[in-house]
Chains A and B, each alone.
Chain A
């Protein structure tokens, strides 16, 4: 045996072994080439060709919308996969995108995650796929959240969460509290209520609910990541608006006027049912959520607009939650995938089914102006036309709010800094600075070029 040959063979084998995982990563990163323009003829052709696409979503009952799509396009079959909810959905999606196969063609995605998947080039820009006239169908803020800084259409909005305030009418009446119109009123009411009944808090400030705090920043006009583009990241948490929000909630927490319980767990459900919180500052999906989560309190709740910073200025709201349909860039069936994403979120029958049967709050102007939708009277809220109120609020949501390209990390860091300051009753404004520092440190580590305010 020639030792040199064997050594060379070994070296080759070693090199291959070393390169293999890189290649594995590389091929997952190597997104399929997608056309930059598509003709209507190509679309028609593709929609007549028998194709199967995979759709990952957690929305219960979405089979109905899929059936409507398959009825309209009999050649296309949609495989529905519920791969989990929230964090587990996204981590599975990320894992599948890295692997050789297994990623879906279309996926459910919340607004705040769009930038996080766009930065890794995992989303397909839908502009070439006959999206003309779509913009006008959606409320401004929903559309602006679904598009990129370069005008890319990353997603088709499906539901939204314009912010309002759910309150316990019975508790308010028992203590003679007026529904607060401004945050100053709100703080005063918090003091009165907690003073009158130490077991009850005006609201709960969940320390790990970064999404709520983001909605508060948004309403106040703080837009911490505005101006970020690709590898350039701008982080501004020193703005007057951001400091105002942090010090307002930090003050309420520090004085013990609001509770700081973690939300969406057993304790929190108990608290809602037993009247520990007199309000829930929450978005348009909350009313339906509450009807099952706090079923024992039916009839006691009402809904009001979000309290305002300025008493006289036109009302401003923001958004918490809601989601979209995205097409993943790994797909090789871009046309059917894009048509599907558009269809289920714009077809009249689909959006009606979503609004009436799945209780998803619609982003489409069409439904928000439809009396059949807005006129719905909910017994749980004493017969109030809750949808109508949120439709009005929906119009007042500012379209100017940009998400970080790693929003899950931003939320985690929020809990570790500002959220912790809330529970420990320490300086929330100082914590805001710590939050910023953590974001910057992480961003630099991930290769971003960070600029301050």
Chain B
């Protein structure tokens, strides 16, 4: 086979690598250029402009002045912002582990090939991801309804009273359920796709060793999913800390529970669109970005260390 020969040749040619790198370096730039150009124009430039924006203060009366880091110092002392950040941090700890464990379990179950109607099940679980957040909140808002929602009505029929899903105590859980509903299938699909990329030899080796399905899952599949799980996790961190759509939509049902600063992103939005404090809103967005960045970094650092030890 030429490929085999090629591979050997490649190893033999290792000293020549440097030359290849230079030649292909240019090609590398060309490959990433289209993405990076659109990215720079559509994301980076507005982001830089917004960052610039955050150093000013524009008042309803009195015009615009350069204020340096004033918006940032204000944000550091803003209790509403930090309460919101604490809340989404709690949301992350509450929701993401459950979602990923369930997604992992579902992916593993599907991968065993031991599930009947597996295509139907997979589609059903993934379908919520295809439902726009606006519609998802509409549907769950109805189901949660304290008077006429089906849970409330069923509870009433048996003489009990359903918990107040939209009350202050349960709201975070109710939001977590919506996000769980929307994204478990999505994570499951990523993990499932990654499982399908696990080389068959590993399973054969395991079968030779007499490993059952549970042990195969534990000692072969899950380690092989480390990369995919990391991807899911990092994006879940971002998703949790930027939580906006679901609380924004449920606000119509529980306006006093979900206040303007319920999540930091909602806060930034309300600052900009209700209070017309565009500059401060930009500063809040960047601080939230920093928090997420640091959070993700710390998280990656911790998992890397643990897996090494």
| Complex contact flag A–B (Cβ < 8 Å) | yes
Find out whether the CB atom of A416 lies under 8 angstroms from the CB atom of B52.
Answer: no
Interchain CB contact under 8 A, B274 and A408? yes
Q: Does A230 contact B (CB under 8 A)?
A: yes
Instruction: Give Cα distance in the complex from A285 to B256, angstroms.
Output: 26
Interface size class of B (residues with CB under 8 A): 20 to 34
**Complex contact B61–A25 (CB within 8 A):** no
Instruction: Indicate whether B273 reaches chain A with its CB closer than 8 angstroms.
Output: yes
Q: For the complex, give the distance between the alpha carbons of A422 and B52 in Å.
A: 41
Tell me how far the C-beta of A432 lies from the nearest C-beta in chain B, rounded to whole angstroms.
Answer: 15
A302 contacts B by Cβ under 8 Å: no
Flag whether A58 is at the interface (Cβ < 8 A). no
Contacting pair B145 A415 (CB below 8 A):
no
Q: Could you tell me if A406 and B148 are in contact, using CB atoms closer than 8 angstroms?
A: no
- Whether the Cβ atoms of A270 and B256 lie closer than 8 Å is no
Counting residue pairs across A and B whose Cβ atoms lie within 8 Å, the total is: 90
Is A419 in contact with B146, judged by CB distance below 8 angstroms? Answer: no
- Supposing A230-B61, A447-B62 touch, asked if A267 and B147 sit within 8 A by C-beta, the answer is yes
The proximity string for B residues 32-53 relative to A, scoring 1 for CB distances below 8 Å and 0 otherwise, is 0000000000000000010011
Contact A21 B52 (CB under 8 A): yes
B280 to chain A, nearest CB (A): 9
Q: How far is the CA of A424 from the CA of B260 in the complex (A)?
A: 17
Which of the listed residues B60, B138, B141 has the most CB atoms from chain A within 10 Å of its own CB? B60
Q: How far is the CA of A132 from the CA of B141 in the complex (A)?
A: 51
Query: Are A21 and B53 in contact, CB atoms less than 8 angstroms apart?
Result: yes
The answer, yes or no, to whether B111 is at the interface (CB within 8 Å) is no
B253 at the A/B interface (Cβ < 8 Å)?
yes
**Contact with A87, one of B53, B256, B273, B277 (Cβ below 8 angstroms):** B273
> B145 near A119 (CB under 8 angstroms)?
no
B259 touches A416 (CB 8 A): yes
8 additional A-B residue pairs with CB within 8 Å, beyond A262-B254, A412-B270 = A267-B145, A405-B60, A408-B275, A412-B274, A412-B275, A415-B259, A423-B257, A445-B277
Most chain A CB atoms below 10 A, which of B49, B141, B253: B253
B142 within 8 Å of A by Cβ?
Answer: yes
Does B64 have its Cβ within 8 Å of any Cβ on chain A? yes
Between A and B, 24 residue pairs with Cβ closer than 8 Å are A25-B58, A120-B60, A261-B147, A265-B141, A266-B145, A267-B142, A267-B145, A267-B148, A270-B147, A271-B148, A408-B275, A409-B275, A412-B274, A415-B255, A416-B256, A419-B255, A423-B257, A445-B59, A445-B277, A446-B61, A446-B276, A447-B61, A447-B62, A448-B61
Inter-chain CA distance A91–B255, complex, in Å, is: 20
Give the one of B59, B138, B274, B277 with max A CB within 10 A. Answer: B274
Q: From B255, which residue of chain A is reached at the shortest CB distance?
A: A208
Q: Determine the chain B residues whose CB is within 8 A of the CB of A348 once the complex forms.
A: none
Could you tell me the distance in whole angstroms from the C-beta of A426 to the nearest C-beta in chain B? 11
The size bracket of the interface on A is 35 or more
| Residues of chain A with a CB closer than 8 A to B274's CB | 87, 408-409, 412
A window 387-438: CB within 8 A of B = 405-406, 408-409, 412, 415-416, 419-420, 422-424
Q: Determine how close the nearest CB of chain A comes to the CB of B35; give it in whole angstroms.
A: 25
Q: Is B252 an interface residue (CB 8 A)?
A: yes
Contact between A406 and B273, CB atoms less than 8 A apart: no
A231 at the interface (CB under 8 A from B): yes
Q: Does A22 contact B (CB under 8 A)?
A: yes
Across the two chains, which residue of chain B brings its CB closest to A265?
B252
Answer whether residue A442 sits at the interface, using C-beta atoms and an 8 A cutoff: yes
Residues on A lying within 8 angstroms of B by beta carbon are 18, 21-22, 25, 87, 91, 94, 119-120, 207-208, 230-231, 261-262, 264-267, 270-271, 274, 276, 405-406, 408-409, 412, 415-416, 419-420, 422-424, 442, 445-448
In angstroms, how far is the closest chain A Cβ from the Cβ of B164? 11
**CB pair B61 A423 closer than 8 Å:** no
A78 to B148, CA, bound (A): 45
Report the nearest A residue to B145, measured CB to CB. Answer: A267
B275 lies within 8 A of A262 (CB): no
A267-B147, A276-B147 are known contacts. Are A406 and B256 too (CB-CB below 8 A)?
no
Contact, CB under 8 Å: A271 / B253: no
Chain A residues with CB under 8 Å of B49's CB are: 21
Contacts of B56 in A (CB 8 A): 22
In the A-B complex, list the 10 residue pairs whose CB atoms are closest, starting with the nearest. Answer: A208-B255, A447-B62, A447-B59, A446-B60, A420-B256, A270-B148, A231-B61, A447-B61, A423-B256, A91-B273
Tell me, in angstroms, the Cα distance from A445 to B308 when the chains sit together.
Answer: 51
Query: Which B residues are CB-close (under 8 A) to A447?
Result: 59-62
Whether A416 touches B147, Cβ cut-off 8 Å, given contacts A267-B253, A448-B60, is no
- How far is B60's CA from A406's CA once the two chains are assembled, in angstroms? 9
CA distance A442 to B276 in the complex (A): 11
Q: In the complex the two chains form, is A262's CB within 8 Å of B276's CB?
A: no
Take A21-B52, A412-B260 as given contacts and tell me if A267 and B146 are in contact as well, using a CB distance cutoff of 8 Å: yes
Instruction: Determine whether the beta carbon of A266 is less than 8 Å from that of B138.
Output: yes
CA distance A445 to B67 in the complex (A): 13
> Which A residues are in CB contact (< 8 Å) with B52?
18, 21
Bound-complex Cα distance A119 to B61 (A) = 7
Of the candidates B61, B62, B255, the one whose C-beta lies within 8 Å of that of A262 is B255
Residue of B61, B257, B270, B276 ringed by the most chain A CB atoms within 10 A = B61
Whole-angstrom CA separation of A112 from B53 in the bound complex: 29
Alpha-carbon distance A271/B253, docked complex (angstroms): 13
Residues on the B chain within 8 Å of A230, using CB? 61
In the complex, A104→B131 CA distance in Å? 34
